[in-house]
Amino acid sequence: MSLLVEKYRPTKIADCVLPNDIKKMFEDIAKTGDVPNMILNGGAGCGKTTVAKALCNELGIDYLFVNASEDSGIDVLRTRIRNFASTVALGGGKKVVILDEADYLNPQSTQPALRGFIEEFAANCRFIMTCNFKSRIIEPLHSRCTVVDFKIPNKEKPTLAQDFLARAKFVMDSEEIAYDEKVVAQLIVKNFPDFRRVLNLIQRYSVSGSIDSGIMATSSDITVKNLIDAMKKKDFNSIRKWAVDNADKEMASIFRRIYDALQDNIEQSSIPQAVLILSEYQYKSAFVADQEINLVACCLMLASDCAFR
C-alpha cells in the first residue's frame, strides 16, 4: 500500500487546503506564471511543500527538490544545484529549486553562499525554501525572498477543518476504507493544522479494518495532566518518563499545551515567570540536538521556579 500523503498530494493550487489570502496569492502566481523567490514558513504538515510542488506542476516548470535536512552542506550547492540552475529548461521557461526544510542549511557556509546563487541564476532559476523556523534562515536571504507565513486566522479554522474533512473522506472513499465521519473529524480537530499527520494516522488505523471510535483511545493526543502533577510534586522520574513518552510529538504543540494549562494549575503570581520559561525553552527547541533533554530541563525549571495550586 502506497503512502496516502504522497498518493493524494494535490497537484494544483485549487486542490490545496489553505487560508483564503494565501491560496489567492498562489493562484495569482499560477495565473501570471511569474514565480518569485520565496520562503514558506509554518508548522509541520500545513502544506508548504505541497504548495511548492503544486505550483511547479501546475505551471509545468522543471524543478529540483532538495531535502535540506539531509543535504545541508555547501557541496550540494556546488554540484546538484549549480548543475541544475545553470542549464536552460527544456520548455524555455524558468526552473525552480525547492529547498525543503531550509532552516537546516548550514548558516555559516551554505546559506551565505545561497545569496550569490539567487542573484547569479536570477535570469534562469527561482528558489523556493520551506521551513518551520524562519529565524534560523539568515536575514540576507529574507531580503531576497518573499516570506509567506502559513498562519491560519481563527475565523477560518472551522472552514479549513471542514475542507480537509472533505479531502480525507475523498481519500478514504477512494481507498475503500470504512470510517466513522465523527471519529475522522475528531482526529482532524486534535491534530489541526497538521493535515499530514491526520492522513498518516488514517493509514495507520486503516490496517485494523476501519476508522471508528476504537482508535480514539490510542490516538496520539498530548495530555499534560500527568506532567503537571509530576511538576507539582517535583518528581524528576515521572517528568522524565512523560518526556520520553511524548518525545515523538511536535515540540511546538507540547509547549502550547503546557502554556494552555498554566491558568488552571499555577498560582497567578507565577504565571509571568512560567511564560518566560516556556518562551525561552521553546526558542531553544529550534536549535538543540536532544529535544528530550530540552523538554525535561524546561519542566524542571517550571517545577522549581513556579508555585503550583
Residue 177 sits in a domain of what CATH number?
1.10.8.60
Among 218, 238, 265, the domain boundary falls at 218
85 and 124 Cβ atoms separated by less than 8 Å: yes
The structural domain count of the chain equals 3
Cα–Cα distance, 104 to 207 (Å, whole number):
34
β-pairing, 125-131 with 38-41?
A: parallel
Three-class SS state of 29: helix
Q: Does the structure show a pLDDT above 80 at 31?
A: yes
pLDDT of residue 87: 84
Q: Which amino acid is at 238?
A: S
Q: Quick: pLDDT tens for 82-127.
A: 888 888 777 667 899 999 999 888 888 889 989 989 999 988 899 9
**Beta strand segments in 60-144, E:** 63-67, 95-100, 125-131
Residue 118 sits in a domain of what CATH number?
3.40.50.300
Q: For residue 181, what is its C-alpha cell?
A: 465521519
Helix, strand, coil percentages in the chain from 3-state DSSP, rounded to 5 = 60, 10, 30
In terms of domains, do 34 and 134 share one? yes
In terms of domains, do 205 and 244 share one? no
Q: Quick: pLDDT tens for 279-292.
A: 999 988 878 888 88
Predicted TM-score of the model (pTM): 0.74
Among 93, 116, 149, the domain boundary falls at 149
Q: Does the structure show a pLDDT above 50 at 219?
A: no
Residue 244 sits in a domain of what CATH number?
1.20.272.10
In terms of domains, do 169 and 279 share one? no
Phi/psi for 96 (5° steps) reads -135, 135
pLDDT of residue 221: 53
In terms of domains, do 8 and 145 share one? yes
Among 149, 172, 204, the domain boundary falls at 149
Q: How confident is the model at residue 209 (pLDDT cuts 50, 70, 90)?
A: confident
In terms of domains, do 11 and 128 share one? yes
DSSP letter string, 268-307: GGGHHHHHHHHHHHHHHTTT-S-HHHHHHHHHHHHHHHS-
Q: Which amino acid is at 55?
A: L
